[in-house]
């Protein structure tokens, strides 16, 4: 069975929900745990049955935490391959909120048998910063160095803060520094401001890995 890290501890999530929303969540969890329904059936309506908005300032969104918990429950009954199929389908037919929740759920999956990199790459082809940000979480360690670097550059382009990119300090390399260098040059040549995050990548790699 594949374990899925929650975005928020179940008690904390429940304490942020209204009575009706809490009941709706417990109800969805119970039917999923009993195998009486599928993720595909409960996923689309999960937000309107519970809540939307921030769990806490700077914390995850309530609807994301709800959907990731539903994925975790469904995962207890699915083999890794079946879980990946289900996540693929949820993503393929999801609206942008559902897609983001799938990406965040993948971020909580370390099981090597579940490789959602195809979904991540789809998200990185969009221009929606919420999807780009969610794709660069912990699951992005499955991406090849080439794809991962382009993911970081995409974050700079669409304004996703690099603080949310997992493994940045570990994976940033000379090639990424070069790419960011060229991006900075281009901005400067155009007389446009350079985002602080671009300088941060640059410093990060030049300071920690001097490669003369």
Partner 1 sequence: MRIFDPHIHMTSRTTDDYERMHAAGVRAVVEPAFWLGQPRTSVGSFTDYFDALVGWERFRASQFGIAHHCTIALNPKEANDPRCDGVLDVLPRYLAKDGVVAVGEIGFDSMGPAEERAFRRQLDLAVEFELPAMVHTPHRDKEGGTRRTLQLVEESGIDPGLVVVDHLNELTVGPVDAHGCWMGFSIYPDTKMDPQRMVRILQERGPARVLVNSAADWGRSDPLLTHATGEAMLAAGFSDDDVDRVLWRNPVEFFAQSGRLLLPETDDAPAPDASSLFEGNSILRGQQVS
**Which residues lie near partner 1 (CB under 8 A)?**
44-45, 47-48, 93, 95-99, 126-130, 157-160, 192-193, 195
Instruction: For partner 1, give the closer residue by CB, 110 or 185.
Output: 185
5 vs 48 by CB, closer to partner 1: 48
4 in Cβ contact with 65 (< 8 Å): no
Nearest approach, Cβ of 47 to partner 1 (angstroms)?
A: 6
Shortest reach from residue 153's CB to partner 1, in Å: 11
What are phi and psi for residue 9, nearest 5 degrees?
Answer: -60, 140
Cβ of residue 18: shortest distance to partner 1, in angstroms? 15
- What are the φ and ψ backbone dihedral angles of 61, each rounded to 5 degrees? -85, 145
To partner 1, the closest distance from the beta carbon of 62 in angstroms equals 13
Q: Cβ closer to partner 1: 194 or 204?
A: 194
**Given the complex with partner 1, which of 60 and 129 has the nearer CB atom?**
129
Token pair listed for 192: 């446009």
Rounded to 5°, the CA angle 38-13-83 comes to 30
Rounded to whole angstroms, the Cα distance separating 63 from 122 reads: 22
Distance CA 176, CA 6 (A): 31
Q: CB of residue 114 vs partner 1: minimum separation in angstroms?
A: 23
Nearest to partner 1 of 3, 18 (CB atom): 18
How far apart, in whole angstroms, are the C-alpha atoms of residue 98 and residue 186? 35
Residues 100, 119: contact at Cβ < 8 Å? Answer: no
């Amino acid at each position: 069975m594949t374990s899925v890290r929650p975005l928020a501890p179940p008690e904390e999530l429940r304490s942020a929900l209204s009575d009706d929303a809490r009941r709706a969540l417990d109800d969805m969890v119970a039917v999923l745990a009993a195998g009486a329904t599928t993720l595909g059936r409960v996923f689309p309506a999960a937000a309107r049955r519970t809540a939307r908005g921030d769990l806490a300032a700077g914390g995850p969104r309530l609807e994301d935490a709800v959907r990731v918990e539903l994925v975790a429950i469904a995962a207890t009954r699915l083999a890794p391959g079946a879980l990946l199929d289900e996540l693929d389908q949820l993503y393929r037919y999801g609206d942008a909120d559902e897609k983001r929740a799938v990406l965040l759920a993948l971020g909580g999956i370390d099981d090597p048998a579940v490789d959602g990199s195809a979904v991540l790459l789809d998200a990185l082809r969009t221009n929606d910063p919420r999807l780009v940000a969610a794709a660069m979480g912990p699951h992005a360690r499955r991406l090849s160095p080439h794809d991962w670097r382009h993911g970081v550059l995409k974050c700079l382009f669409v304004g996703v803060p690099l603080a949310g990119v997992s493994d940045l300090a570990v994976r940033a390399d000379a090639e990424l520094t070069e790419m960011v260098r060229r991006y900075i040059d281009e901005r400067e040549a155009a007389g446009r401001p350079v985002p602080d995050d671009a300088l941060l990548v640059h410093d990060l790699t030049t300071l920690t890995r001097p490669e003369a």
